[in-house]
Structure 1
């Protein structure tokens, strides 16, 4: 398979692997992201420059990443991001492509798809995905251009997620308190609720790694061929190191089963370390299958949003996405006041090994 490691030239355009130390290209790439956001989905959270720049230098410890830019006349016209798991699921790769709105329909996106396929196939990946924004009933109308583009290049829809937004004060105080009390009653005395901001306390790293390892086995994945992964304490701490390097604050609440001492439910919210950025992102909420039916998900999310309000008063909204078939979590989010904004699709293309 071909290895994409050097500049590629096509019709006056260069496709260059992005060096995090190249400030001009990094700035150009971020400008493309900002311009596309303003046209394609301005209601969604804007790209955050500091996080983007730091993320280039600090890739996820369990993924190999690469970024490419399409450069024409000295200007960045488009950006390609590629990620490949490096511990398990070694057949898999994911990517996103952003083309500046003023330079679309010129073949730049197609050239980046070719770059992606060559790069991932050259590293033995046989299932490749591309994502895009989509419309959803009750939400905003989104262009079908991304979906049609992916399908044109042989990618088929494998997973649909619904993107929702919730004001941190979506519920009035009385309603929120009533929901909390009902959830606390359902949970009973069997569970201890623990919260923190930042890194996982050292005494909880092992048990948190255990529940994190269940995520891919429990969340709906549609037609994506992903296998459960094992998270250990070393990886858990490495991810925390990356979050700190990227300036991300984590607000986390868990339920620990008093009988076993194990964490059996977990939720978290990611917040930029930026007092002027008003949006936060809901991370995975998961409840161990042996402990469902006690309203632990609802309980933890209410406790956690209160922590967000108390500690980060500049945050106005929390964003989340759920697979369209994930009815239990969608029900919780609707109860908490999450409203549909749009949707997204993961499009997959499979190759022979």
Structure 2
């Protein structure tokens, strides 16, 4: 077996990598959204502007049998690194996954990273039962559970029209006239880039991180626009709704949904929903998510479901999602291993 860094220009290896991802999805978590080929391929050529990404494939007898994806933040959290590993179901229990974990650790440690994570699917309550193989594999290699999240799915028409309208009106009444609700599809309007960068900078300070030691990243207009460039290159459309406080003109609450620019793909992904701590208690999170859901339905009628995950301790956002009709599918865990400097 040989471990090779994946070159986006090598069509055969890229196709082989995607075939492994598709086979892994079908075997391990077929109820979840399938990997999207065009987005994966484009993402190889357009890595995140705030992360250094690398992908490797394990090749045996001329065939790609496993894939390793690595991400290393390059602006903040320079101690941190994450990875995911897919081993084709027909090639498991042959030491391939272990070889890729060792490759990840060596790669990250050579670049000064001391806190590394692997993620895997888990079972949660009455959701779909998942194999414990991923968890046992991570623990075997010295990784311990640091953060657990719940994965939920919501049909875009989960609520009947009257119930949804009643929830919207209650949220609007709670918000009052102090906030302007603004929505768009695609890039952030230029006049909102600065204020959106400000609220994006608060995300890591506000979301539950479990045992992960991550500091907030300062987002500026340049990075905000670079992220938009990457989304466009990958064929991802953002459906976004925000609340702007009339007293200051600043955006103080935000939600977004990511959609593949592909009329055949029925799933969308809920991004971070965040409300500035000084503006909580006005049902802004619920208000924005309902407005945004309607925008998705009106503009992307092929979308049948929206997927989201929340830390298992994030009770306020879980309550909103349950109210909107999100149902548990499974869970996931971020398994962490720390090294000395």
Specify if TM > 0.5: yes
Residue 241 of structure 2 is aligned to residue 230 of structure 1: no
Residue 73 of structure 2 is aligned to residue 82 of structure 1: no
3-state SS of 1:131 partner: strand
Equivalent residue, structure 1, for 2:139: 151
Cα offset, 1:84, TM superposition = 0.5
What does 1:62-211 align with in structure 2 at a 5 Å threshold? 62-211=50-199
3-state SS of 1:45 partner: coil
3-state SS of 2:316 partner: helix
Equivalent residue, structure 2, for 1:346: 334
Cα offset, 1:208, TM superposition = 0.1
Instruction: Tell me which of 275, 278, 297 is aligned to 2:285.
Output: 297
Name structure 1 gaps, 5 residues minimum.
1-12
Equivalent residue, structure 2, for 1:320: 308
Cα offset, 1:25, TM superposition = 0.2
How many aligned residue pairs are there?
A: 341
Equivalent residue, structure 2, for 1:7: none
Instruction: Tell me which of 42, 46, 51 is aligned to 2:30.
Output: 42
Tell me, in whole angstroms, the C-alpha distance in 2 between the residues paired with 1:92 and 1:171. Answer: 40
Cα offset, 1:77, TM superposition = 0.3
Residue 202 of structure 2 is aligned to residue 214 of structure 1: yes
Cα offset, 1:195, TM superposition = 0.0
3-state SS of 2:209 partner: coil
Could you state the TM-score of these two structures normalised by the residue count of structure 2? 1.00
Calculate the aligned-residue CA RMSD, in Å. Answer: 0.3
Cα offset, 1:101, TM superposition = 0.3
Tell me, in whole angstroms, the C-alpha distance in 2 between the residues paired with 1:233 and 1:58. Answer: 19
Cα offset, 1:134, TM superposition = 0.4
Could you state the TM-score of these two structures normalised by the residue count of structure 1? 0.96
- Deviation track 1:56-104 (CA, whole Å, cap 9, x = no partner) reads 0000000000000000010000000000100000000000000000000
Equivalent residue, structure 1, for 2:268: 280
Equivalent residue, structure 2, for 1:5: none
Cα offset, 1:51, TM superposition = 0.2
Tell me, in whole angstroms, the C-alpha distance in 2 between the residues paired with 1:36 and 1:83. Answer: 20
Cα offset, 1:184, TM superposition = 0.1
Cα offset, 1:133, TM superposition = 0.3
Tell me, in whole angstroms, the C-alpha distance in 2 between the residues paired with 1:224 and 1:96. Answer: 17
Tell me, in whole angstroms, the C-alpha distance in 2 between the residues paired with 1:49 and 1:229. Answer: 30
What does 1:53-64 align with in structure 2 at a 5 Å threshold? 53-64=41-52
Name structure 2 gaps, 5 residues minimum.
none
Equivalent residue, structure 1, for 2:317: 329
Cα offset, 1:138, TM superposition = 1.9
3-state SS of 1:169 partner: coil
3-state SS of 2:177 partner: coil
- Deviation track 1:209-234 (CA, whole Å, cap 9, x = no partner) reads 00000000000000001011100000
